[in-house]
């Protein structure tokens, strides 16, 4: 039995069946990312993928509740191919509640709305999209390949097609100097999109990424732990969305999990308490600084 696992998936898909339809990333230029730097982009043959689905059903069992489709941007496949793949997924997994995938905002901008609706009708339910930041200058610096307006357009098209939209924000990507522009630009974009999920990740320099080299050359000043907490506070303060706000990653400093807008006061209180403790308690300060050091391993 041959079955090819994707190498990456969101933490929220830890229990999902992993189905690889592409290898690598068709963009692969983001300066903070090392995930696919050594993986040439490929579209896998549909017949191979269908055999993988059958093998996965034997491996995981046909009652698995969730499936994640990798690698980085499955929507680059043709609509008919994705419909065929999704149909086979549902034929082999009788109890499915959710099928998700990574996607790029630019791809969503280019794909006809009718095609997105067909893919949604075939059973792809949620898209995980890397916003990282809503600040125009930062998006350009990290080579994200999309402007704030294109981020908004792509995500709104996904919402219109019926997908759940899960957006990733990269705390600290503005460094020590640009945290406020990062927070305020990101809040502005999120408010225009009103995604179903906002998921926070803290920037950790990764070997093999261009930004790792910049950090090593002292050309990028990493945001201090208290700066990242201030950034998070400003972001939450400005958000006017009906979204789940989730810090579901080991890189984050605080468990800021809730539903906006109702949990905004509680989340702000958590950040304020942490900032106060950071100022008063050297032990707490060291613990956060150590966490930053450990997440760089």
CA distances from 90 to 49, 87, 94, 180 (A): 14, 5, 6, 45
Sheet architecture: strand order including 164-171: 17-20, 66-70, 98-103, 126-132, 164-171, 197-202, 244-246, 258-259
CB atoms < 10 A from the CB of 182, how many? 28
User: Do the domain assignments include residue 195?
Assistant: yes
pLDDT of residue 181: 98
Query: Which tokens go with 27?
Result: 């963009």
Contact present, 57 and 93 (Cβ < 8 Å):
yes
Q: Please give the Cα distance from 46 to 78 (Å, whole number).
A: 10
In a domain, 35, yes or no: yes
CA distance 67 to 77: 17
- Measured in degrees and rounded to the nearest 5, phi and psi for residue 187 equal -60, -40
Residues paired with residue 169 on neighbouring β-strands, in sequence order: 132, 200
| CA–CA dist 105, 127 (Å, integer) | 10
DSSP 76: G
| Rounded Cα–Cα distance for residues 131 and 246 (Å) | 15
Residues sharing a CB contact under 8 Å with residue 27, sequence separation 6 or more, in sequence order: 72, 73, 104, 106, 145
Q: Does the bond joining 162 to the residue before it have cis omega, within 30 degrees of 0?
A: no
Residue 138 counted as domain residue: yes
Assigned domain for 3 exists: no
Per-residue pLDDT 10s for the chain (297 aa) are 678 888 899 989 999 999 999 999 999 999 999 999 889 999 999 999 999 999 999 988 888 999 999 999 999 999 999 999 999 999 999 989 999 999 999 999 999 999 999 999 999 999 999 999 999 999 999 999 999 999 999 999 999 999 999 999 999 999 999 999 999 999 999 999 999 999 999 999 988 899 999 999 999 999 999 999 999 999 999 999 999 999 988 889 999 999 999 999 999 999 999 999 999 999 999 988 887 665 544
Structural domain contains residue 196: yes
Residue 2 domain-assigned (yes or no) = no
Of the CA atoms within 13 Å of residue 233, those in its CB half-sphere come to 15
Q: Is residue 277 left, alpha or beta, with left meaning phi > 0 and alpha meaning psi from -120 to 50?
A: alpha
For residue 219, the domain's CATH number is 3.20.20.70
> Does residue 125 sit within a domain?
yes
Q: What is the sign, positive or negative, of the torsion defined by CA atoms of 15, 57, 62, 19? A: positive
Instruction: With respect to residue 5, please indicate whether it lies within any of the assigned structural domains.
Output: no
Which range of residues forms the domain containing residue 203?
11-294
pTM, full prediction: 0.94
CA 290/CA 285 separation, integer angstroms? 9
What lies within 8 Å, CB to CB, of 297 at 6+ separation is none
The pLDDT score that the predictor gives to residue 1 is 61
Cβ atoms of 133 and 169 within 8 Å: the answer is yes
CA gap 104, 26 in Å, rounded:
10
How many domains does one find in the chain?
Answer: 1
């Amino acid at each position: 039995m041959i079955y090819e696992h994707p190498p990456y998936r969101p933490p929220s898909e830890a229990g999902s069946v992993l189905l690889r339809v592409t290898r690598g990333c068709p963009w692969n230029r983001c300066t903070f990312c090392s995930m696919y730097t050594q993986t040439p982009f490929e579209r896998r043959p549909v017949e191979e993928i269908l055999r993988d689905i059958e093998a996965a059903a034997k491996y995981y069992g046909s009652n698995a509740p969730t499936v994640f489709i990798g690698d980085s941007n499955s929507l680059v496949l043709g609509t008919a191919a994705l419909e065929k793949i999704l149909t086979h997924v549902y034929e082999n997994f009788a109890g499915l509640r959710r099928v998700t995938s990574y996607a790029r905002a630019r791809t969503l901008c280019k794909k006809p709305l009718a095609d997105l609706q067909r893919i949604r009708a075939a059973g792809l339910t949620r898209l995980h999209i890397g916003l990282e930041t809503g600040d125009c200058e930062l998006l350009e610096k990290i080579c994200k390949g999309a402007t704030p307006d294109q981020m908004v357009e792509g995500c709104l098209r996904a919402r219109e097609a019926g997908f759940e939209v899960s957006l990733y924000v990269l705390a600290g990507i503005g460094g020590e100097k640009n945290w406020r522009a990062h927070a305020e630009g990101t809040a502005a974009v999120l408010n225009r999109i009103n995604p179903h999920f906002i998921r926070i990740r803290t920037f950790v320099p990764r070997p093999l990424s261009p930004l790792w080299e910049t950090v090593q050359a002292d050309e990028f000043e990493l945001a201090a732990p208290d700066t990242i907490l201030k950034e998070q506070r400003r972001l939450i303060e400005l958000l006017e969305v009906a979204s789940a706000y989730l810090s579901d990653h080991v890189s984050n400093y605080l468990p800021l999990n809730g539903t906006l807008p109702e949990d905004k006061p509680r989340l702000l209180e958590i950040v304020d308490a942490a900032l106060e403790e950071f100022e008063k308690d050297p032990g707490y300060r060291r613990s956060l600084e150590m966490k930053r050091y450990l997440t760089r391993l």
